[in-house]
Amino acid sequence: MIGRRSTILDQVDRMLFPLIVAVAIYVTFRGHNAPGGGFAGGLITGAAFVLRFLSGGALRVRRSVVTHPTTLIGIGLFVAVATAVSPLFVGDALLESTIWIPDVPLVGEVKLVSSTFFDIGVYLLVVGVILTVIVALGADPLHAELMGDGSEEVEP
């Protein structure tokens, strides 16, 4: 982080970050029926992490994420590819969408669409890439733990 931290930006980040991520998740799940999807939702979540980076630096972004960004990339890529090729195993075309309508107790019928799982994979992939870029380009050389090597902070 360059310069002093802004108290106003810190408070804006604390208030807006959860709201932005909630909107991104809504856009991701709404994408199979309306404009949106995993890519748009991932970009919105990425914008939330850029706000977090601007308010607190790469270390604050890294502390906000439960897992390493490359893990998100791997999981997202696996889910998206598995969803894309799974119809081939039952004789359907690549990326063929399937609809399931299970009866869930206390809720009733729930419509599940296979393209939703593809959108979730794309969402995780995009968020992982954006986090990797933020952490790599915004890394302070004094904070080696940002890159996930487990080393301690070096004193200047």
- Which pLDDT score is estimated for 137? 86
- Tokens describing residue 114: 């296979």
Per-residue pLDDT of the chain (156 residues; tens, 9 = 90+): 456 788 999 999 999 999 999 999 999 999 877 888 999 999 999 999 999 999 988 888 988 999 999 999 999 999 999 999 999 999 999 989 889 999 999 989 988 888 999 999 999 999 999 999 998 888 766 555 544 554 444 444
- Which pLDDT score is estimated for 18? 97
DSSP reduced 3-state for 136: helix
- Which pLDDT score is estimated for 5? 80
- Which pLDDT score is estimated for 152? 46
DSSP reduced 3-state for 104: strand
Amino acid sitting at position 89: F
Tell me the domain boundaries of the chain.
Answer: 7-147
HEC sequence for 11-62: HHHHHHHHHHHHHHHHHHHHCCCCCCCHHHHHHHHHHHHHHHHHHHHHHHHH
